[in-house]
Structures are given as structure tokens and as C-alpha cells.
């Protein structure tokens, strides 16, 4: 099956690399990336057998098109999408852009599936949410599941939930990394070697996620298991609650959801 990737930045490039490593899949890949440096760097990583072009007009017909550009660039590639001669599956990772908008801009031959992956695809621990447009088939969702399943877990949600998904799992790695960074800085200020603090903070986040997923426990259950009455963990948790950590999380999520909805309107 032939797949055309439009946009090979960090996420698009990661998807291309995943597909290249899936040697038994039989994907034939073409990649459009206007930035020369990004194009050359990805070409070095994936080796021969992938066609690279700097303009969408250089791409041929393909059964699957993955759209991985900035939302504002949709109109720039819409003409090429509309010029496709045969029915095709359009998988979009554009934040905030609805399947209805994608179908309208891409023309009547596109069967649309939206995907919201996150950066952890690079290490095989990603999570991707999918939703199907009105013209998409079960087989189309199956193709999308196969692609993103190469990098982690795949879930299906209603489209009305996609902006919240974008805020939680799409933006979430940055939110969690920021918390790790702040813990690292605080530990260093308390006297811990900065390099040791960095590794401890990052690996603590990694282990916590593994505990929650693999043991199937809730965050509240984990907090209760770690926090002995009158102990150090309880003291720290009380200070976090007093500092408004819940309200801060609410504000961060709300801001990200709001921005996703602005992007959907071309903002």
C-alpha cells in the first residue's frame, strides 16, 4: 500500500520512521517536506527506498495520505488533495481541525480519520486517539490503528472529545515534563546534585506511569499507598493541595482546549 506523508517535522518524521521499521508491512512511502534540513535529516535516518519531495505536486497517487502540517497550512495543500483521482484515506493529525472541515477542504474523494498522537511514539510508549469522519469505513480505522499501534496504544473517541484529548495526551507530555523540571530544580536547590536530581525526577515519572498502567491502579490509590500518616509524602501532598495544584491543572487544560477550538476556527 502506498502512503504519502505531507509534513515531516518531529511527529510526521516519527511516523515515517515507524513505518520503515515495520519491514513486513509492505508500505511504499513518499514524503513531502519543504524544509531542506528536515528533509535531509529524515532521509539519512530512514535510508533508501523512500521518495522525498519539497512540494506536494511531486507526490503521486496514494491509497493513504497522512497530513502532518500546521493547521494553518491546510488550505495550502487543499488543492492537491482535491486533485486526487481516486478515493483515498486521509489521516490528519492537525490539532483542532474537524473531520467535517477536513472532508470539505480535501474534496469528495477523501475518507477522513483524525488522529491525535503524542511524542512518546518515538519510544514506543505513545498514545493515540482516533475518530472517524462520516465517510470513513471500519477498514480505514483499521489502517490508522495499524499505523499508530506501531508506536504504542491506540484508543477511539467521539470527535466531540478530541479537543480535550489534544489538551491531555497531546499537550500532556509537556505539562508532565514541566512538573519534572520543577521537581528537579527544587531538589537541586535543596542540595542534591543537579544531574542526580534530573535522573531521579525523570525516572520517578517513568516508574509512576508504569505503576498506574501495569497495575491498573488509580492515581488516588497510588498516593494513598505511598503517603503514610504523618510522613514526608503526606506533608508534601498537603502543601501541593494548599498551593492550588488542582486549580492549576484545570487552568492548563482549559487553556489548551480553548486553543484547540480556536485552531478549528482558523485562529
CATH number at residue 215: 1.10.3730.10
Residue pair 84/110 in contact (Cβ under 8 Å)? The answer is yes
Does 203 lie in the same domain as 118? no
- The closest of 122, 124, 74 to 94, measured between CA atoms, is 74
pLDDT (tens digit per residue) in 172-201: 999 999 999 999 999 999 999 999 999 999
166 found inside a domain: no
Whose cell is 515531516? That residue is: 8
User: Which three cell numbers mark 182?
Assistant: 520543577
With a cut of 90, say whether residue 37 has pLDDT above it: yes
Q: Are residues 221 and 150 in the same domain?
A: no
- Which has the closest alpha carbon to 170: 235, 94, 223? 94
Residue 261 binned pLDDT confidence (cut-offs 50, 70, 90): confident
Helix and strand counts by DSSP (H, E) for the chain: 11, 8
Q: Which of 14, 57, 51 is nearest to 31 (CA)?
A: 51
Q: What is the DSSP letter of 231?
A: S
Decide: residue 252, CB within 10 A, 0-12 exposed, 13-18 middle, 19+ buried: middle
Query: pLDDT at position 26, please?
Result: 82
| Domain stop point among 138, 161, 184 | 161
Run of H or E residues at 88: strand 88-92
Q: What are phi and psi of 64, to 5 degrees?
A: -130, 130
Residue 122: CATH number of its domain: 3.40.50.720
With respect to residue 153, please indicate whether it lies within any of the assigned structural domains. Answer: yes
Per-residue model confidence as pLDDT tens digits over 53-99: 999 999 999 999 999 999 889 999 999 999 999 999 999 999 999 99
Q: How far apart, in whole angstroms, are the C-alpha atoms of residue 41 and residue 20? A: 15
Count Cβ atoms within 10 A of the Cβ of residue 85 and give its class: 0-12 exposed, 13-18 middle, 19 or more buried. Answer: exposed
With beta carbons less than 8 A apart as the criterion, state whether 10 and 119 touch. Answer: yes
106-119 pLDDT, tens digit each = 988 999 999 999 99
Q: Which residue range forms the structural domain that includes residue 184?
A: 172-264
- The C-alpha atoms of residue 140 and residue 90 are separated, in whole angstroms, by 9
Residue pair 126/153 in contact (Cβ under 8 Å)? The answer is yes
- Which residues sit opposite 4 in a β-bridge? 30, 65
In DSSP terms, which residues pair with 121 in a beta bridge? none
CB 115 within 8 A of CB 92: yes
Mean pLDDT value of segment 200-224: 97
Q: Residues 152, 198: one domain?
A: no
DSSP state letter for 57: G
Instruction: Write down which residue in 161, 187, 205 finishes a domain.
Output: 161
Per-residue pLDDT for 23 more than 70? no
Once rounded to an integer, what is the mean pLDDT over residues 200-204? 97
24: pLDDT confidence band, cut at 50, 70 and 90? low
Separation between Cα atoms, residue 192 and residue 9, nearest integer Å: 37
Predicted TM-score (pTM) of this structure = 0.92
Domain count, the chain: 2
Amino acid at each position: 500500500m502506498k502512503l504519502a506523508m505531507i509534513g515531516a517535522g518531529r511527529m510526521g518524521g516519527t511516523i515515517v520512521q515507524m513505518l520503515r521499521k515495520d519491514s513486513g508491512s509492505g508500505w511504499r512511502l513518499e514524503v513531502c517536506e519543504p524544509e531542506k534540513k528536515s528533509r535531509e535529516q529524515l532521509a539519512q535516518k530512514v535510508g533508501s527506498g523512500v521518495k522525498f519531495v519539497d512540494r506536494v505536486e511531486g507526490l503521486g497517487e496514494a491509497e493513504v495520505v497522512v497530513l502532518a502540517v500546521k493547521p494553518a497550512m491546510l488550505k495550502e495543500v487543499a488543492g492537491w488533495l482535491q486533485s486526487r483521482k481516486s478515493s483515498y484515506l486521509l489521516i490528519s493529525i492537525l490539532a483542532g481541525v474537524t473531520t467535517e472541515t477536513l472532508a470539505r477542504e480535501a474534496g469528495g474523494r477523501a475518507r477522513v480519520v483524525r488522529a491525535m498522537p503524542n511524542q512518546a511514539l518515538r519510544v514506543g510508549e505513545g498514545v493515540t486517539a482516533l475518530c472517524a469522519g462520516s465517510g470513513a469505513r471500519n477498514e480505514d480505522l483499521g489502517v490508522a490503528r495499524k499505523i499508530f499501534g506501531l508506536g504504542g496504544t491506540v484508543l477511539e473517541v467521539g470527535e466531540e472529545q478530541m479537543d480535550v484529548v489534544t489538551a491531555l495526551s497531546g499537550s500532556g507530555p509537556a505539562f508532565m515534563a514541566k512538573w519534572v523540571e520543577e521537581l528537579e530544580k527544587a531538589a537541586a536547590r535543596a542540595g542534591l546534585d543537579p544531574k542526580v536530581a534530573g535522573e531521579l525526577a525523570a525516572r520517578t515519572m517513568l516508574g509512576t506511569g508504569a505503576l498506574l498502567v501495569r497495575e491498573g491502579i488509580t492515581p488516588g490509590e497510588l498516593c494513598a499507598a505511598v503517603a503514610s500518616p504523618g510522613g514526608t509524602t503526606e506533608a508534601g501532598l498537603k502543601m501541593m493541595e494548599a498551593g492550588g495544584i488542582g486549580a492549576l491543572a484545570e487552568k492548563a487544560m482549559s487553556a489548551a482546549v480553548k486553543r484547540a477550538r480556536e485552531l478549528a476556527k482558523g485562529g
